[in-house]
Each structure stands twice: as structure tokens, then as C-alpha cells.
Amino acid sequence: MTVPQRIAAQVDSGPSAWSAQPIRSDIPAERVVGAEFSAQRIEPDLVWIDVRGEIDIRNAHALHAFTHRQLGESIRMVVDLGAVEFFGAAGLSVFDDLDERARALNVRWALLSGRPVERLLRVADAAIAAKACRTRKAALAAVAPVK
């Protein structure tokens, strides 16, 4: 099953049912200390980034670099943190920079957050918290093409 089919079939399912499945990627995955990032172009102008593991000071810079590389490839992007088990404060700067660069490039992006991410965003960063979606359906709607 392709990623677009998987998203369509499981758009309302719980995070464990979908994020536990491996993602097939046309963009090379990146493994770093404590985390793994992969990306899939699910539409010609939409990239879905899957983040797994823990985001902290050891690997936030790698997540920053990975997400920024995808910005140049698409005009819409979803960063899926549903399988992230721990999200440290170092990760916040990734999304502040991503938001700034996305605005400069006119890229629409959304964050699909998991529980560890939601907790930190609630207390630390209202602007990025506004980009956070709780469901895949909401994330896709947030980056839907403007007609």
C-alpha cells in the first residue's frame, strides 16, 4: 500500500495504528542518535515527513537540516511527530526556523503533534502551537491547496 493510500485509509485512526507501520520513501531516510526521519512525496507538491524516536539536543540540528532540505522540494509539507516519544526544548528552535523559512518560500506547512510535543508547545511556543494538528485529516486540511 502506498503512503497516499495509507493516509486515505487510516486518516481517522489512532496514532499507533498508522505510525507503527514503516513508511516507504522516495527521499532517503536519515538515522541519527535517538531518532529517524523519512519523507514521502504524497502529491506532486506535498511532502509528508515522518519523525520517530526522541528529539533532543543530540539530534535537533539533524531534524532542522532534514526539514529544511524538504522545503526546497515542495510548496506544502506536514511534519508528523506522532511517533515521537520525547520532545525536548531543543526541538522548538527547529520549528521556529522552519516557520520563518517556510514563510519566506511561501510553503504551507503543518505539524502533526503527539503528546510529548503538545505538552511542550502548550507552555513554550504559541505561534508554533497554532500550526499543530491533532489528526492526519486536520494536518492535510491545514496544508490543502488554496483555491
Helix and strand numbers (H, E) in the chain are 7, 6
- Measured CA to CA, the distance from residue 81 to residue 23 in angstroms comes to 13
pLDDT digits (tens, 9 = 90+) for 19-61: 434 444 567 788 999 999 999 998 889 999 999 999 999 999 9
Question: Which residue, 31, 3, 32, 33, is CA-closest to 19?
Answer: 3
DSSP character for 21? S
- Measured CA to CA, the distance from residue 1 to residue 40 in angstroms comes to 13
- Please state the pTM of the whole predicted model: 0.79
